[in-house]
């Protein structure tokens, strides 16, 4: 995705507010993560606390979705979890902010992912006929995990990882990645994991962008590992030690591990998600694609039917090829595959990026 997030949600002509957020003279257009505590817009450092120009750590400024504010450099909703009122963006509100009682501390239903995924599977199959495929039935029947790697219905059981983590750089084998761990992480509870190959904006900017929109798209409870798509261009194997490292340090839900690749990270994501570690991912969205590939194994061979989609970002032929390969392999696809909504014809579209991130919550291998 492109580095200028200031395009916003309404139109490219949106006027962004000014303001100083740097220790140095912000009238000089040399905004970088080293000299700007806020966000960068057209080379100038902004305070990063306005909804129209939100961001931290010298990342590109982001315009928050309507109804959200930016009090501390990240987009936040104006709803109140724990007040017994189900506000927009909340799935439940039982009057408290406690996990383990059916409604999580972030007002999202607990234990609903499998039911949602099974219901969706009944609605969509590889050819979108409204019937469940044989691969889906096989995956549902294999509740014990069978020979699926990692086992269905289980968790990694990792331990020792710190929380919260807000984007620090980590090393796993030969690969480096940036890690996000929510403050509410508990080792006793399996947690969703999203692995990301960034676009040309780089790993640091992608990490900041994900932190900014996490609550809006429903991934605020995810652990997120971000690899720089330019550094690991065409190198999907770099994602393997990262996946293993996070699983060893944190208790990752085997059935709720996801993959997002973006622009320059397309080929690496295709390698990792459709071949090298295909069985690890419940869902894969290839965004702003510039390459294509097909799954190495079918859903029947995997023992479950993964979810998939592709966001063209202007490259419809590659997106169609990816989706066609997923469909032929028995993947579960939404009706809008490849994605054709807002921003699908524009590389670096914020709208398409949000659609990609919103794709993962509730998806399961089972």
For the stretch 169-228, pLDDT in tens is: 999 999 999 999 999 999 999 999 999 999 999 999 999 999 999 999 999 999 999 999
Residue whose token pair is 């069978």: 146
The H-or-E segment that residue 216 falls in is: helix 203-217
Q: What is the pLDDT of residues 137-171, one digit of tens each?
A: 343 433 334 589 999 999 999 999 999 999 999 99
Selected residue with higher pLDDT from 79 and 61:
61
114: tokens are 């499998």
Mean pLDDT of the chain: 81
Tell me how many degrees the CA angle 163-167-170 measures, rounded to the nearest 5.
Answer: 85
**Contact at 8 Å (CB) between 118 and 140?**
yes
Banded model confidence at residue 110, pLDDT cuts 50, 70, 90: low
Q: How confident is the model at residue 296 (pLDDT cuts 50, 70, 90)?
A: very high
Tell me how far apart the alpha carbons of residues 357 and 344 are, in angstroms, rounded to a whole number. Answer: 14
Helix (H, G, I), strand (E, B) or coil at 352: helix
The pLDDT-based confidence of 111 (bands split at 50, 70, 90) is low
Kindly list the structural domains of the chain, giving each domain's residue range(s) and its CATH number in brackets, ordered by start.
Answer: 1-78 (no CATH), 79-110 (no CATH), 118-358 (3.40.50.1820)
Segment 58-71 mean pLDDT: 76
Question: Once rounded to an integer, what is the mean pLDDT over residues 284-311?
Answer: 97
- Least confident range of 53-62, 224-233, 319-328: 53-62
Nearest 5 degrees, angle CA 198-CA 201-CA 207?
55
3-state secondary structure of 38: coil
Check: CB of residue 197 under 8 Å from CB of residue 229.
yes
Q: What is the pLDDT of residue 313?
A: 95
List Cβ neighbours of 169 (8 Å cut-off, separation of 6 or more).
Answer: 176, 177, 178
Between CA 259 and CA 272 the distance in angstroms is: 9
Q: Give 263's DSSP letter.
A: G
Question: Distances in Å between the alpha carbon of 181 and those of 80, 140, 158, 194, 199?
Answer: 22, 30, 14, 11, 21
Per mean pLDDT, which range of 74-78, 194-198, 279-283, 331-335 is the poorest? 74-78
What pLDDT shows up at residue 78?
55
Helices 203-217, 350-358: axis angle to 10 degrees equals 60
Closest CA to 219 of 313, 113, 134, 126: 113
Rounded CA separation 343/348 (Å): 8
Say which residue, 224 or 89, is predicted with more confidence: 224
């Amino acid at each position: 995705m492109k580095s200028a997030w200031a395009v916003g949600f309404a139109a490219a002509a949106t006027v962004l507010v000014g303001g100083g957020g740097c220790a140095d003279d912000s009238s000089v257009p040399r905004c970088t993560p080293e000299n700007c505590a806020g966000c960068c817009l057209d080379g100038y450092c902004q305070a990063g606390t306005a909804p129209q120009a939100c961001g931290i750590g010298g990342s590109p400024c982001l315009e928050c979705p309507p109804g959200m504010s930016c009090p501390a450099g990240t987009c936040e909703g104006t709803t109140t979890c724990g007040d017994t009122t189900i506000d927009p963006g909340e799935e439940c509100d039982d009057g408290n902010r406690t996990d383990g009682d059916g409604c999580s501390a972030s007002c999202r239903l607990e234990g609903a992912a499998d039911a949602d995924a099974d219901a969706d599977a009944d609605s969509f199959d590889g050819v979108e006929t409204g019937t469940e495929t044989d691969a889906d039935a096989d995956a549902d029947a294999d509740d014990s995990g069978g020979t699926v790697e990692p086992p269905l219905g289980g968790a990694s059981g990792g331990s020792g990882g710190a929380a919260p983590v807000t984007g620090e750089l980590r090393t796993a084998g030969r690969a480096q990645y940036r890690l996000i761990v929510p403050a509410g992480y508990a080792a006793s509870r399996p947690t969703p994991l999203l692995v990301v190959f960034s676009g040309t904006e780089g790993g640091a900017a992608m990490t900041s962008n994900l932190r900014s929109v996490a609550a809006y798209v429903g991934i605020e409870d995810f652990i997120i590992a971000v690899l720089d798509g330019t550094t690991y261009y065409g190198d999907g194997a770099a994602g393997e030690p990262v996946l293993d490292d996070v699983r060893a340090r944190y208790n990752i839900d085997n059935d709720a591990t996801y993959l997002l690749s973006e622009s320059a990270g397309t080929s690496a994501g295709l390698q990792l998600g459709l071949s090298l570690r295909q069985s690890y991912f419940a869902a894969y969205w290839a965004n702003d694609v510039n390459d294509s590939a097909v799954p190495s194994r079918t859903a029947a061979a995997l023992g479950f039917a993964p979810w998939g989609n592709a966001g063209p970002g202007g490259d419809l032929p590659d997106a169609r090829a990816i989706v066609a390969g997923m469909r032929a392999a028995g993947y579960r696809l939404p009706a809008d595959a490849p994605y054709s909504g807002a921003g699908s014809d524009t590389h670096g579209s914020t709208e398409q990026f949000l659609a990609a991130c919103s794709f993962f919550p509730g998806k399961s291998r089972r």
